[in-house]
Amino acid sequence: MNKVWETRMQRLWLVASAISLLCPLLLFSGKFETVNAANAVTVLLAIVFVLSLPVSFFSLPLMALFKYGIELELDSMFGAYFNLVLLNIFGYLQWFWLMPKFFNRGKELKLPTILENN
């Protein structure tokens, strides 16, 4: 049952990640000028933050460091998209690296070898 849940969460994460990375590019391309793109990107940031919980809490100090350390404006398109990419990286690490290691704790990892069939 854990493997099914893990696979579903990974697929959900991939779909949400692809949508969250492509949507701001479409909104700011000029085709959808009537849409308030800043609010849409804020909603996307919130959704990706929730989907990558609890690891996304580790991105908050990094966001503050980028805001105050290199003075990255979070209100600008680049700043918001940069934070979106950062949250996607943390979510990817959680769902595709940490969670498989957590669920496969008691199992030994066996990699296939070329010489195994001979």
Who's near 84: CB < 8 A, 6+ residues apart?
20, 21, 24, 41, 44, 45, 48
Supply 64's token pair: 């503050």
Its pTM stands at 0.70
Other C-beta atoms closer than 10 Å to the C-beta of 88 total 20
Mean pLDDT, consecutive 10-residue segments, the chain of 118 residues?
A: 72 84 78 63 86 84 82 74 87 82 63 57
- The domain locations on the chain are 2-104
